[in-house]
């Protein structure tokens, strides 16, 4: 017998506005968020605690411009597995260009987001994926990053 799905958290308009504000600036202090949302700082803190306890707010992270780290060439690589799935953790450890990835259900099995030093590193990653057993590897260069606020 499989476990029942966890019901989605019920979010009101203030929860959604708070989450949007955090997406725009994850480092914003509660006082600033309270001012933007026209509520008290205590209300913001209580909602943040509840959203974290409910698993809605899973963390706040810093986004670093890969160019600042000497990795200006961004690419998305879609991989179809061969006879065996590829181990994402091993790939990320082996190839420093791998920034993140998604396991997919569809034409591709895996999507890797890369930040490469240059085109030669991108070629090396694609070659390495093929050597690791990928049946198909398709790389596309990123022209511009888009973010929703």
**pLDDT beyond 70 at 139:** yes
pLDDT per position as a tens digit, 70-93: 999 999 999 999 988 888 888 889
CATH class of 66-141: alpha beta
pLDDT at 41: 95
Determine whether 37 is exposed, middle or buried from the number of CB atoms within 10 Å of its CB (0-12, 13-18, 19+): middle
**Of 67-76, 104-113, 140-149, minimum mean pLDDT range:** 140-149
Residue 80 to residue 86: CA distance in whole angstroms: 9
> Which pLDDT band holds residue 129 (cuts at 50, 70, 90)?
very high
**pLDDT beyond 60 at 7:** no
pLDDT at 102: 95
> Which pLDDT band holds residue 62 (cuts at 50, 70, 90)?
confident
User: Is the domain covering 13-53 a CATH 3.40.50.1360 domain?
Assistant: no
Q: DSSP assignment, residue 68?
A: G
pTM here is 0.73
Contact 142, 76 (CB under 8 A): yes
Query: What is the rounded average pLDDT for all residues in the chain?
Result: 90
> Which pLDDT band holds residue 9 (cuts at 50, 70, 90)?
low
pLDDT at 2: 47
The full set of domain ranges for the chain reads: 13-53, 66-141
pLDDT at 8: 62
Looking at the chain, the whole-number percentage of residues with pLDDT higher than 70 is 93
CA distances from 132 to 71, 76, 147 (A): 23, 18, 32
């Amino acid at each position: 017998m499989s476990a029942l799905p966890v019901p989605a958290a019920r979010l009101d308009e203030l929860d959604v506005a708070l989450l949007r504000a955090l997406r725009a600036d994850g480092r914003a202090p509660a006082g600033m968020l309270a001012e933007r949302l026209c509520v008290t700082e205590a209300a913001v803190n209580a909602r943040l605690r509840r959203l974290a306890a409910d698993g809605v707010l899973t963390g706040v992270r810093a986004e670093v411009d890969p160019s600042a780290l000497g990795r200006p060439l961004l690419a998305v690589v879609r991989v179809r597995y061969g006879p065996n799935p590829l181990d994402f953790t091993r790939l990320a450890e082996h190839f420093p260009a791998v920034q993140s990835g998604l396991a997919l259900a569809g034409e591709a099995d895996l999507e890797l987001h890369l930040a490469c030093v240059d085109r030669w590193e991108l070629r090396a990653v694609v070659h390495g994926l093929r050597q690791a057993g990928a049946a198909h590897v398709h790389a596309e260069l990123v022209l511009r990053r888009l973010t929703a606020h």
